[in-house]
Structure 1
Amino acid sequence: MATVAVELGQADGGLELAGSSTVVVQPGDTLWSIAGEVAPEEDRRAVVDALVDANDLDAVELVPGQVLQLP
């Protein structure tokens, strides 16, 4: 499970995470689970979309060790 401590803030109506700028994917992690960890108070669908956009992901399959940029 990826562990990231962040603070949330809104800027220009979009999701913005302040704190750690990356997360390393661990075995069993999904975009959904990472979204819940990095932004537990936010709508996970919006966080997943922001993660996909920030990392130019074409697929939702993640690879352990992969480094994702946080939006």
Structure 2
Amino acid sequence: MSTMAMKSPVSVPSRAPRSVAASGATRGTDGRVVRAAERGAVRATESSAIRPTEGSAVRMRLTRRGRIVLAVLAALLAFGIAMVADQAMASGPADPVVHGTVYVAPGDSLWSIASDVAGDRDVRDVIAQIEQLNALTSSEIQVGQELIVPAADG
């Protein structure tokens, strides 16, 4: 009869209970629980926190949300600069604006003065220009009043 050789049981180290693992403790070589303080580990306190030394660069990490905010701000800044630059650009050399001067005579009205200088333009537009040029708040004018009028066509 053949005899089977019996193997001796192999001891498998057991896992530490959850409470031991959760507390940051480990088992030492002799099997007893060793806590972090007994291993020589030191908790980080305010005095032992890692601080950058002078002259060393600190690398800043941006989260996804931070990168999105930064991109939106950059886009808004670029849009604002484009809007200002568009308004600042001249479309070309401006034609010199020529204005004339008229003194109001008895019986004159803004309509009669505007129709004299309007030429082919709409009289109502010329009246609006006269009111704007002279800062008039109403259409009332006085005899002898000096009015600046747009140059006559033609």
TM-score (norm 1): 0.68
Report the Cα offset of residue 70 of structure 1.
Answer: 1.6
Please list the CA deviations of residues 3-57 of structure 1 after superposition, one character each: whole Å capped at 9, or x if unmatched: xxxxxxxxx7xxx5x4x62000011111111010011321001000000000000
Instruction: Give me the whole-angstrom Cα distance separating, in 2, the residues matched to 1:40 and 1:61.
Output: 23
Amino acid corresponding to residue 143 of structure 2 in structure 1: P
**Larger proportion of strand:** 1
Across the aligned residues of Structure 1 and Structure 2, the Cα RMSD in angstroms comes to: 1.7
How far apart, in 1, do the equivalents of 2:120 and 2:143 lie?
A: 25
SS at match of 2:131: helix
Corresponding position: 1:44 with 2:123 = yes
* TM superposition outliers: structure 1 runs of 4+ over 2 Å: none
Q: Normalising by structure 2, report the TM-score.
A: 0.33
1:23 paired to 2:111? no
Q: Which residue of 2 aligns with 1:7?
A: none
Gaps in structure 1 of 5+ consecutive residues: 1-11
Query: When the two structures are aligned, how many residues end up with a matched partner?
Result: 55
Q: Which residue of 2 aligns with 1:70?
A: 149
Q: Give unpaired runs (5+ residues) of structure 2.
A: 1-93
Quote the sequence identity (%).
42
One-letter code aligned to 1:56: A
SS for the counterpart of 2:107 is coil
